[in-house]
Structure formats: C-alpha cells, structure tokens
Structure 1
Amino acid sequence: MDKLAVLGGAPAVPRDQRSVAWPIITEEDRKAVLAVIDSGELVSNSDTPTAVDDLEARFAERVGVARCVGLSNGTTALQIALAALGVGPGDEVIVPALSFIASGLAPLHQMAVPVFADIDPVTFTLDPDDVARKITGRTAAILPVHLHGMPADMAPLRALADRHGLVIVEDAAQAHGASYHGTQVGALGDAAAFSLQVTKNLPTCGEGGLLTTNDEALAGKIRMIRQFGEVIEAGKPRDYVSYTLGWNSKLNPIQAAFAASQLGRFDDYEARRQANITAFLDRLRPLPGIQVPAAREGCTHAWHILRLRFDPAAMGLPGVPPAALRGALRRVLRAEGVPLSQYQLMTLPRQKVFQERTGFGNGYPWAALDGETPPDAGHPVAEAVIEDSLTLQKRHLNPDTGDLLQRYADAFEKVWSNRDMLTTLARAER
C-alpha cells in the first residue's frame, strides 16, 4: 500500500507535471488581437463593422438564436437582460441558493429582491418544485443557473413561467456548448447571459460577456442599454441622444477578436474535454462514498467545474462529520497533487450582502415590499452540498490534460486505499 504524501510518501502527481495552461493562447489568437489594434477600430460603437459584430454573429449561429449582443462581462449581461425585460423595484427574481454571487447581485442592482430556491442534489441546478413554492404575486422572473456546465431542468421551469406570466433569464456563464434535449443553452429562455472571463470554457483575454435571445426587439433594447440608451447604427452619425436608461457596458473589439479566435477551436477542444473528463469520472465512480457529477438524461454537460460529493458512512467512516471529511480529503488530495478547492464557502442566502440586506438608500429593494418577507423554508440541499463537496477547476479545461486527469484518478484510488487513516486526519479538521 502506497504511503500517503501527507504522511511523507511520494505524491501520485509529480510536481513537475502539475502546471497546466488555460487558456491556450495560439499564434492565431495573437494575430486576431493585433489585427484589431492595427485596424484602429478599438470600440464597438463604431459606424463600421467591428470584431464585436463578428463575434456576435458567430456566437448567435453557434447557439442557434436570432441575436447575440456583446457586453463588458457576464454580470452586466445578467443585469441588462433583467432591465431590458422590465424587471425592477418591487419585483422578485427566483435564483438558486447555490451559485456564483453575480446570480444574486444582478436582481439587486435592478432594485429587485432575489428569492432563493433550493437545488437538485445531483445536478446542483434549480429544483422546480421549490421554485413553485417560492412564486408570489411579486415574482417577475426566474433566473436558472446552468451551474458548472449542467443545464438546469428547463421544461418544468418554462411551464411554471408560462403559467404565472414570468420571464426566464438563463445564467449560462459556465455552460458554453451545453445542451438541453437538443437545444443549446442560451436558446432556452427569454434571454441568456454568458461570461467570457478568462477562466471560462470559451475565454477572452480578460473580461467579457454575451447576451443571446430570439427576440429581435429585445436585442435592440439591449444594444441601446449597453451604450447609454443610444441607438448606434452602422453608416449613420451618432446623435448622442439617450432614448432609455442605459449604461456603458460594451465589449471591447480586442476581447471580441480573442474570443472569436478561441471559438474557432471550441468544438475540437470540447470533444477532447468530453473524452478526458468521462474517462476520469469513470475511474472515480466505483470508489465508495463519492458522488461524481453526471449529465441529466437528454442533456450534455460542459464540465466547466467538477463538483464531487463525499459520504462518510458510504466510505466506511461512520461518525465522521461531512465537513471534517471534506477538509481532510482536501488536505490529503492536494498533497497528492490534486488541486481540489471548496469554491463556495456558503450558500448565496448566507452571503453578508443578503443577510444584512445591503442595498440602496433606506434598505431598498426590500423596503419596497412594505414589510412583507418572501417565503423561505431554508435550503437544506444547497447547505448539504456546501458541507460535503469539493471542486476541481480550470485544469481539466485544457484538452491535452487526459494523462494528468488519469494521474488525478491514481491519487483518488491511492487515498481510498488508505481511507481508514482519514478518520484520524478528519479529527484534526474539527
């Protein structure tokens, strides 16, 4: 039996094999960026086509929607989608209790109240039954998050939205290329927000975002909102008239060119990622007490983040608290060379900004509810997932990491063969 690295043994992943580049930057990417610099078209509010227009057209075709609008980042994309759909003060927006903070902040910036619903314990996406319980007369929108690259269960959510007259804004920040029963994410709601942040499956050289929709009028409104409420039309002089409330939330052509160059390789990268990750998860799946992420039937998972759940009793460690086991596993597996992290330290409703109702003025938007409190019976599944899971991020996005992922699997198998020692190590985590 190999000695654990944390106890002085040799690590399963040698130190000289741990460095992984993401994003992969090629000569084509560099040429695309330099072409924009040399063109002098450095902003998207030009009266001639720019790299932003090119990326918008290509991504709309890739997703299968009528329109795509480039924006400064995924968070502004979420907020602008809600704004363009008329969500504002006095409204409630249903958001999953487990997500990145931007999912909850976007409604708040619209002076709308985020109402948190629980998640499914396997897919980590919105639980439609809990969403139904959270709908009130003030509910205006549902914001399903395709968390970690797994599409939310959109059919029942769409049925709820249609029954109650609600809009749906997809948070697809982590789900480029994922699909739900043959339809790409980004084409399932009234609008969808994507992130191009450098850690994403489809990255740019920094920050960026995209909004997709099949509603031509909505796309036009989004374009106005991103540019001070103005109407910018190719071939026509800018009139500097704000026709609606807007922001300065444009995507830079340099970032668009970089992302478009990456998009040209996306399908090849994605196919190789799917093979690598499937082989990795297939080796972890037989290990007792570990729940590996899985794609819902009829869906494809983009695998932006791999979240693993651990069950002490099923591992043969009865009496070990899940959080203590999580801490011990993180320490032991990182010593073996597997860079697991907790990622989210708390559910969204436990974030200080929502606990203390930090908003605008005298407690807005909550003050707009006239003292009424949205229904909330807690979020036990989301809390449990935080308590007993760890994540693998970024390293697996490089399509050449198949061998490294197999080394990671070696590390898991090594730790599981020594798991009787985890009880002692877990005590130190309390």
Structure 2
Amino acid sequence: MSKLAVFGGTAAVPKHRRRVEWPLVEDDDRKAVLGALDGARLVSDTDGVNPVSDLEESWARQFGFEHCVAVSNGTAALALALAALGIGPGDEVIVPALTFIATGLAPLHQMAVPVFADVDPVTFTIDPDDIERRITPRTRAIIPVHLHGAPADMDRINEIATRHGLAVVEDAAQAPGATHRGRPVGGIGDLGTFSLQVSKNIPTCGEGGLVVTRSAELAEAVRKGRQFGEVIESGRERDYISYNLGWNYKMNALQAAFTQSQLTRFEGYERARQQNIGGFLARLSRLPGIQVPTALPDTTHAWHILRFRFDPAAFGLDGTRPQALRSALRRLLRAEGVPMSQYQLMPLPDQKVFVERLGFGSGYPWSVTGATGTIAGEGYPVTRAVIADSLTIQKRHLHPGSGDLLGLYADAFEKVWENRDAVATLAGAAS
C-alpha cells in the first residue's frame, strides 16, 4: 500500500504535471485577433459584415440555431433574453437553487422576483416536480440551467411551461455542444444563452455571451436591447433613436475573432474530451462511496465541471457526516495533486442579496409582489445535500491532451481509497 502524500509519501501527480493551460491559445487565435485589430470594424454596430456578425453566423451554423446575437457576457445574455420576453416588475421567474449567482440576478435586473426550485440529485439540474410546486399566478418564466454541461429535463420543463403559459430561457453557459434527445441545448426553449467567459468550453479572450432563438422577433428584440434600444441594420443609416429600453451590451471584434478561431477547433477538442473524461470516470465509478457525473440516456454531457458526490455509508464510514468525509477527501486528494475544490458554497437562495432583498430602493422588486423574501436555511434539501457531500474538478480536464493527467488523477483516487483507514481517521477528526 502506497504511503499517502499528506503523510510524507510520493504524490500520485508529480508537481511538473499539475499545471494545465486553459484555454489553449494557438497561433491561429493570435492571427485572428490581430486581423480584427487591423480591421476597421471593431464593434457590432458598424455597417456590413464584421467579426461579431461572422461569429453569430458561425455559432448558429455549428449548432443548428436559427438566430444568434452576440453580447458582452453571459449575464447580459440572460438579462436581454428576459427583457425580450417582456419580463418586468411584479413577475416571478423560477430558477434552480444550485447554480451560479448570475442566473438569480438576471430576473432582478428586470425588476422581477427569482423563485428558487430544488435540483435533481444526479444531474444537478432543476427538478421539474419542484418547478410545478413553485408556480403562482405571477410566474412568467423558467430558467433551467444545464449545470456543469448536463442537459436539464427539457421535455418535462417545456411541457410544464406550455401547460401554464410560461416562457423558457435556457441558461446553457456551461454546456455548448450538449444535446437533449438529439437537440442542441439552448435551442429547445424560447431563448437560450451562452457564456464565452475565458474558463468556458468555448472561450473568448475575457468575457462574452450569446443569445440564440428560433424567433426572428425575439432575436430583433435582443439586438435592440444590446444597442440602447436602437435599430442597427446593414444598409440603414443609424438614426440614434431608442425605440425601447436598451443597454450597451455589445461584444467587440477582438472577443468575437478569438471565439471564432476557437470554434473551428471545437469538434476536435470535444472528441478528445469525451474520450478522456469517459475513461477517467469509468475508473472512478468502480470505487465504493463515490457518485461520478453521468450523461443520462438520450443526452450528451459537455463535462464543463466534474462534480463528485461522496456517500459515507457506502465508503464504509456509516454515521460520519458528509461534510467530514468531503473535507478529508479534499485534503488527501489535493496532497496527491488532484485539484479538488468546492463549487458554490451555499444554495443560491442563501446568498445575502436574496435573503436581505438587496435589490432596488426599498426592497424592490419583492415589495411589488408582496413576497416575504428568502429565508436562509429553508427548503432545497437536495441542493443542500449536494453542497455538503460533493467536490469538483474544474478546467484541467478541458484540455484535449489531458488524458494522461486524468489517468494520474485516477491513480490518486485509487491510492486514497486503498488507505481508507487514514480517510476514516481524518474524517473522524473533522466530525
């Protein structure tokens, strides 16, 4: 039995193997950015074809979307999608309790109230049954999040939305390329949003976002929204008239050119990722007490983040608190060179902005609806359990050449599992 690194043994992952660059910046990316910099069309409101419109066309063609609008970031994409639907004061929007804060803030930016629903224990995406329980006469929309790259149950969500007359905005920030029953996520609801933030599977050189939709009318509303409410059309002289409320949420040419270059390599990267991650998860799935992320039947998982849940009883530590086992495994695996981390330290409704109703003015938008606000600690048992018993791996596995590194990660997991007495000791000390 190998001695654990935390007790002076040799780490399973040598230090020189631990650094992994993401995104991969190739010469083609540099040439694309310099080409855009040397061009005359650095913003999306210039007349004619420009790098931003090129990216919009390429993204739509790559994934099969009818309309695509590039914007400044993924949060802006969500806010513009809600604005295009007319979501506003007094409305409620159902969002998952386990997601990045932007999903909950987007309704607030429209003076709408986010209403939180629990998640599925396997996919970590919003639970359709809990959506049904949260619907009120004020509910106007649902934002399912394809969290970590796993598609939400869009068939059930769309059925619920149709039955109650609700709009569906897919938050696909972490899931470009994922599919649900052969359909690309983002294109299944009324609108879909993507993030191009530098950590994402398809990144830009900083921040960026996209909105996709089947509706020409909604696409036009998003275009107006990103440009001060103005109408910007090729061949039409700009009149500087705001036809409705708008913002300055434009993407610039350098961001678009970088992503366009990255997009040309996406299919090759994705094939490598699926192979590398599939082999890694297959090895870990044989270990007792660990639930590996799973691509459910009829779905394609984008594997943006790998979240692992740990079961003390199945591990052989019946009676141990999940948090104690999680803490022990995090310490031991990180010592072996596996960068295990927590992602989201609390359910979204426990965030201060929602608990204390820190919106606009005197408690708006909650005061419009008479809602009492969120109470920290209430409900969402699955979300709380997932946060208590899970750890994640982020970014390193996105590199298409990460197969050997993931093999070393698997060695580290197996080494720790061979030393379960040490795990028990550390977990007991943390209880």
TM tier relative to shorter chain: over 0.9
- In 2, distance between residues paired with 1:371 and 1:395? 42
Q: Which residues of 2 match residues 30-69 of structure 1 at below 5 A?
A: 30-69=30-69
Write the letter of the residue equivalent to 1:100.
Answer: F
Q: Which residues of 2 match residues 111-122 of structure 1 at below 5 A?
A: 111-122=111-122
The answer to whether the 8 Å contact 1:317/1:420 transfers is no
Q: By how many angstroms is 1:235 displaced?
A: 2.1
Residue of structure 2 equivalent to 1:384: 385
Residue of structure 2 equivalent to 1:400: 401
The superposition leaves residues 49-76 of structure 1 with CA deviations (integer Å, 9 ceiling, x where unpaired) of 1100000001111221210000000000
Residue of structure 2 equivalent to 1:314: 314
Residue of structure 2 equivalent to 1:411: 412
Q: Which residues of 2 match residues 101-250 of structure 1 at below 5 A?
A: 101-250=101-250
Q: By how many angstroms is 1:373 displaced?
A: 6.4
Write the letter of the residue equivalent to 2:223.
Answer: R
- In 1, distance between residues paired with 2:401 and 2:30? 21
The answer to whether the 8 Å contact 1:197/1:203 transfers is yes
Q: Secondary structure of 2:391's match?
A: strand
The superposition leaves residues 166-189 of structure 1 with CA deviations (integer Å, 9 ceiling, x where unpaired) of 000000000000000000011111
Residue of structure 1 equivalent to 2:287: 287
Q: Which residues of 2 match residues 76-95 of structure 1 at below 5 A?
A: 76-95=76-95
Residue of structure 2 equivalent to 1:24: 24
Write the letter of the residue equivalent to 2:25.
Answer: I
Which aligned segments of 4 or more residues in structure 1 are displaced greater than 2 angstroms? 370-377, 427-430
Write the letter of the residue equivalent to 2:340.
Answer: L
Q: By how many angstroms is 1:48 displaced?
A: 2.2
Q: By how many angstroms is 1:429 displaced?
A: 3.0
Q: Secondary structure of 1:168's match?
A: strand
Aligned residue pairs: how many? 430
- In 2, distance between residues paired with 1:63 and 1:132? 30
Tell me, which stretches of 5 or more residues in structure 1 are unaligned? none
TM-score of the two chains, using structure 2 as the length reference: 0.98
- In 1, distance between residues paired with 2:324 and 2:94? 32
The answer to whether the 8 Å contact 1:134/1:374 transfers is no
- In 1, distance between residues paired with 2:16 and 2:42? 40
**CA separation of 1:58/1:214 partners in 2, compared to 1, >3 Å: closer, same or farther?**
same
The superposition leaves residues 64-112 of structure 1 with CA deviations (integer Å, 9 ceiling, x where unpaired) of 1210000000000001100110111101000000000001000111111
Residue of structure 1 equivalent to 2:365: 365
Q: Secondary structure of 1:58's match?
A: helix
The superposition leaves residues 201-249 of structure 1 with CA deviations (integer Å, 9 ceiling, x where unpaired) of 0000000000000000110111000000000111222111000000000
Write the letter of the residue equivalent to 1:16.
Answer: H
Tell me, which stretches of 5 or more residues in structure 2 are unaligned? none
Q: Secondary structure of 1:314's match?
A: helix
Q: Which residues of 2 match residues 274-353 of structure 1 at below 5 A?
A: 274-353=274-353
TM-score of the two chains, using structure 1 as the length reference: 0.98
The answer to whether the 8 Å contact 1:63/1:186 transfers is no
- In 2, distance between residues paired with 1:75 and 1:235? 30
- In 2, distance between residues paired with 1:370 and 1:75? 26
Report which stretch shifted further, 227-236 or 158-167: 227-236
**CA separation of 1:371/1:407 partners in 2, compared to 1, >3 Å: closer, same or farther?**
closer
Q: Secondary structure of 1:313's match?
A: helix
The answer to whether the 8 Å contact 1:342/1:390 transfers is yes
Q: Secondary structure of 2:75's match?
A: helix
Residue of structure 2 equivalent to 1:354: 354
Q: Secondary structure of 2:211's match?
A: strand
Residue of structure 2 equivalent to 1:423: 424
- In 1, distance between residues paired with 2:355 and 2:112? 15
Q: Secondary structure of 2:87's match?
A: coil
The superposition leaves residues 316-371 of structure 1 with CA deviations (integer Å, 9 ceiling, x where unpaired) of 11221100111111110000000010011001011111111111011001001135
Write the letter of the residue equivalent to 2:399.
Answer: N
Identity of aligned residues (%): 64
- In 2, distance between residues paired with 1:427 and 1:287? 21
The answer to whether the 8 Å contact 2:355/2:373 transfers is no
Write the letter of the residue equivalent to 1:295.
Answer: A
- In 2, distance between residues paired with 1:360 and 1:104? 15
The answer to whether the 8 Å contact 1:63/1:185 transfers is no
Q: By how many angstroms is 1:377 displaced?
A: 6.7
The superposition leaves residues 391-421 of structure 1 with CA deviations (integer Å, 9 ceiling, x where unpaired) of 0000000000000000000000000000111
Write the letter of the residue equivalent to 2:112.
Answer: A
- In 1, distance between residues paired with 2:101 and 2:372? 24
Q: Secondary structure of 1:400's match?
A: coil
- In 1, distance between residues paired with 2:260 and 2:156? 34
